[in-house]
Structure 1
Amino acid sequence: MLLIVPPLHLNLILLELIYYLTLISFSNYRQKTKEEIAKMKQEQQDNFTKARQIHQNSLPDSLPEKADLSVAAFYQPAAELGGDYYNVFKVNHGSMNVFFEQYFIYMFDVSGHGIDSAMLSIFINNTIEDYFKLQHNEGEEVSPKRILEYIDTQYRAEGYPDDYLVCLLVGVLDLNNYEFTYSSSGFQFPFYKLSKDGNLNELDTGGLPISSSVDKSFIELEETTIEFKKNEMMFFTTDGLLEQTVEAGMYNNKLKDELTTLDYFHPAVLVENIRHDFFNVTGSEYGDDDITYLTIARLNSELKEWTIEEKKDDLNKKQQVISSYLSDFSTIPEELISTFEYLSDLIWQKTHHLSITTLADRDYFMISLSGVQKEINWQKIITENLNLSQLQNKGIKVFPCNKHGNKLYLFTHLN
């Protein structure tokens, strides 16, 4: 048998061809792998975005605003998702509602920042809702301690892993006798009650967090009742705000300054001041942990409300009525009235629906404008269309404040 051996240069060419084909194949494989990894990352990001939207949308769209009660809150997850949650709603006593005016207030912090924490947060929230659907009877006393015990029992029944911790505040504000009764578990720092004259008092917290790792026999829940007088405000926060590291140590050391130096005694102003100060000292609205704080004030004021529907004529008529009402206050600057008219016109063009609230306090006047659109950047609207520093120099404060950003506040002093 004759064996034909190719010339040496042909062998080299063959080897080079195999080498280049291998490189091309490897390059194609690597590119395909990169594309698959990028696709997987994008799908994961899309899932996080959807989960964040679900969690964000589960937060309350609006908070109570009455002549004698006003509520504002701030929520910012540290990562794509968070485990914090808050809510304030009126307790439904059914046919006995005529005898009651109670608001249930709760806030909690679930350990972690991922999908699992967000899902556990939804479970806690659903458990509270279930309590009022299944356990609460019309006209029955609402006991924060009993509600915490119910949450703890339901949590243990689910068999969650030991490494999860839930810190909870639940409370009932009774507007008939202006008492606040609350129970808490797991919070290391106190909450605060502040008065318009600058006094600051700590509200006790404590107790072990709800967790499968904590034996039920060690859980000792307490219930505290305090008086909530006119011109007082309560401030509640999860640990993320207080434990954030700043130059002076922890932000907790700086918080008291913000609580006692308010230019307007209103919850939205307190929320905005803390948000602004936190950004100034950290350079970011994001913290190392989820940041949630809730503030509730018992005001001594006159409140009026208007709703502007889709018709332009309705806007013009309501603007005239409101502007006339504002003109009755001789100390309100003309700039506030013109700013209100300009903003209401500008925002109505984008939302075609506005809810307007005015609040006359002894020392200041507030106007809020709320819209139904959640996709519009209201901060951008006022930044691009108003000279905020010039208005500030004239004693007018303007800022958006709520979870969607679709609520604006205008404040001015009544001298």
Structure 2
Amino acid sequence: MKFSAQISQAIDHCLTDEIPFVAFAMPGEAEVCFRASLPDGQFRSPAFRDKESDSFFINFFDNDEPYTAGVSFDMTEEEVNNFHDPTYHARIFGDSIRPRVSSTFRASYHEAFSAVKPRLKKDGGKVVLSRLRSLFTKKTPRLIAEEYFALTDSTFRYLCFTPETGVWLGSTPEVLLESDRATGLIRTMSLAGTRPVDESGDWDEKNIREQAIVTDYICHTLRNAGLEVEIRPLTERRFLNIKHLCTPIDARGDVSIPELMSALSPTPAVAGYPRERAIGEIGRVETHRRHCYGGYVGVRIGGDYHAFVNLRCAFMAPVTLSGTKGWLGNLYAGGGIIAASQEDAEWLETESKTRVLASVFLGENGHEGEEGSRLTRSSVSFLSDLPPSGHDDGQPVNSAGI
């Protein structure tokens, strides 16, 4: 998918001058929409400056604050390309959160899996363990987005920058919530369970159980909000090389959509169940921060919300690798761990989920931050140098990490 010349120029302008922006495409649509807005006096970019304006929003995993970052639809690509303000001071990439330099090692994943499995066998429930792949590429975020958008046209696709989040791109098949103000209809889905797209026959008990946990949680949350709930028939939903079990869910009633999004997110599909216990375990055993992975992204247009779980995504920052300019990207993927889960199968599932985006990133000249690779703390420099004992994602350095 080739972006228009105007949108391409606007994206490059925003990345150079660090102007909050989004380029997005709705599921099944080829048209890419671009919008931008200047940050406020505190150099923040709030998604919802009022109750009615159109906007893009992106939220962190397990964010319990009312504030949501995003982009108000203030400026088109033409307006951005004509924007020249010598008083506008770009300073974000040096100060904001940074991607992690090294990928999650296999040994780290083993330690995390081994830490949660005994408790799951004893008490039941589910914990979603994630990992990240840290990749260096000479491609710009715009070029990566063009290629990735073209491969995943049935999903919600976006490339964005805000001061709070940094640069993110993603292509997510999972609807968190879509609302239609005219009819009062709210649509969501329970998406869980994963297997290769070419695998046929009955789904195994592990995947069926994992998906049922998510369905039960979503329906319980909707009913607690006073909504009438209709569960539609179970289907399969394909995403490139894998497919998931999917239960579409409809609801009706009077409710605050932002409050409902916060109540639903993060669902057990990306956190686990019971949710608060699973989130606590994730914080203890994962060696990276998720940032916006597993949170939600979307748009509000004409008063209607289109929110999606932030999956198949990457967090990016400009760096140099041994003197070569490029971008560092953290690609995230997770899998639901229950008592019946097998570690090797779960690791391979995360490989499958990152394979397509990783191939777009790496091309012929990319590098991955694994043991023995060129991508190390000493070889990578961010726009502003890290202090010698600094942490590139806010996490303490440990034997499994950087």
Which TM-score applies when normalising by structure 2? 0.30
Write 1 or 2 for the structure with the bigger share of strand: 2
Which protein shows a greater Rg?
A: 1
Higher relative CO (Cα under 8 Å, sequence separation at least 6) belongs to 2
Write 1 or 2 for the structure with the bigger share of helix: 1
